[in-house]
Structure 1
Amino acid sequence: MRHVSIASIAPERWRNGGGITRTVASQGGDWRVSIADVARDGPYSRFEGIARISVVLRGHGVVLRDETGAAVTLKPLLAAAYDGARAWRASLDDGPVTVLNVMTRIGAYRARVHAITQPLAIAPCRAALVVASDAGDVLIAENVREALRVEPSDGARFLVTIESETSGKER
């Protein structure tokens, strides 16, 4: 596993220009894990054909609403899945938030986000990331071939795994 300080990752403007994100790991347009700072209410970037999972790491929360009235609530330290193709509009709950975002191309990859509350085993997968939100760090393992163990120590909060959807074969 390699260790990356979130602060050392160069910030990028959102696709729609409304915020800042830091890409922690990605594979082209097939999957991406990033950490975004959301400072104000406004539109979320749309990503056709992309499934999203988000977790509020800092702040009180965000409610996403689309033009049909559908809503997704992003709460602190709870993973929420939603469709990246929808035109979501964010409303912050009592101030700015920092959000862990996981995006995967539908039909190619799937992601899982687990809170680390006890020791976990990482099964073989394309990529695994351990987000230590207290310390502002990420541990990254790519092309995991043998099971790894993760402990809830040192501020480790979340395990993100990315797996291929194609009949068990890693891409």
Structure 2
Amino acid sequence: MAAIEVRSIAALPVERWRNGGGVTRTIASGASGASGASGESQWRISLAEVERNGPYSRFEGIDRISFVLRGAGVTLRDEHSAVTLKTFEAVEYDGNAQWHATLIDGPVTALNVMTSKGRYRASVRNIVGPLTVPSGCLVAVVALHGGCAWSDAAGEPLGAIEAGQFLIADSLDYAIRFLPTAPAVNEAVSPQPPVLVTIESASAHE
């Protein structure tokens, strides 16, 4: 049985970009718990703080999904196309392109998921109601603003995470159910719900 780990986002090491345009905090990376034979990660989940306009790193053979958690968004452009990373939306794009990032209205914080093209399939979505994840997936939950609880498929409570934490579990052998935590009575505005990431082998859909 794979363990479910809960950690603090603030405790993640900060990796400054070589171009000075932002920082990254890696939540998890590898390939089914380990790096590929080449020594390069086959998937990665990270938080990026984009502080200014500039080039995005190119990742050959990688599919990317970005989910802006804070800020107005980012527009990515290359020679042939443009992609807008919108707040609270999962946007898929090609990691192989030479993207240049333009902030829409100041710095942003984005959850980024990268997977090896053809090897893995990823999904990113808000936990706004009950969500059940089947066994066999790598699961991550990022609770930047609002927390959530989780249980087994029968509804037996297993744990919870709070704002400022994340959860990671690789290849669970049982289904898991997530439910957003109700806002506190004194909160005038409900916090942004946590974000669920799942990664599974592409062969699971063949």
Alignment of 1:137 with 2:140, yes or no, is no
Q: CA deviation at 1:126?
A: 3.6
Structure-2 residue corresponding to 1:120: 131
Residue 8 of structure 1: aligned partner: 11
Q: 1:62 aligns with which of 67, 74, 80?
A: 74
Q: What does residue range 1-171 of structure 1 map to in structure 2 within 5 Å?
A: 1-14=4-17, 18-27=21-30, 28=35, 29-68=41-80, 70-134=81-145, 135-153=163-181, 156-167=193-204
SS for the counterpart of 1:40 is coil
Question: Which is greater in Rg?
Answer: 2
Q: Distance in 2 between matches of 1:121 and 1:57?
A: 22
For residue 162 of structure 1, what is the amino acid of its counterpart?
I
What CA RMSD, in Å, does the superposition of the two structures yield over aligned residues? 1.7
Q: What SS is found at the alignment partner of 1:64?
A: strand
Aligned-residue identity in percent: 54
Give me the whole-angstrom Cα distance separating, in 1, the residues matched to 2:51 and 2:98: 19
Q: TM-score, normalised by structure 2?
A: 0.77
* Structure 2 spans left out of the alignment, 5+ residues: 36-40, 146-162, 183-190
Give the match's secondary structure for 2:10. Answer: helix
The TM-score, its normalising length taken from structure 1, stands at: 0.92
> What amino acid is the match of 1:139?
L
Residues 110-119 or 149-158, more deviating: 149-158
Structure 2 CA distance for aligned equivalents of residues 51 and 125 of structure 1 = 21
Q: Structure 1 stretches (4+) deviating beyond 6 angstroms?
A: none
**What's the offset of the Cα at 1:61?**
0.6
Could you say what secondary structure the match of 1:124 adopts? coil
- Per the TM alignment, residue 13 of structure 1 is displaced from its structure 2 partner at its CA by 2.6
Deviations 1:48-86 (A, max 9, x none): 000000011111111111122x11111111100000000
- 1: CA distance between counterparts of 2:116 and 2:19? 19
**Which segments of 5 or more consecutive residues in structure 1 lack a partner in the other structure?**
none
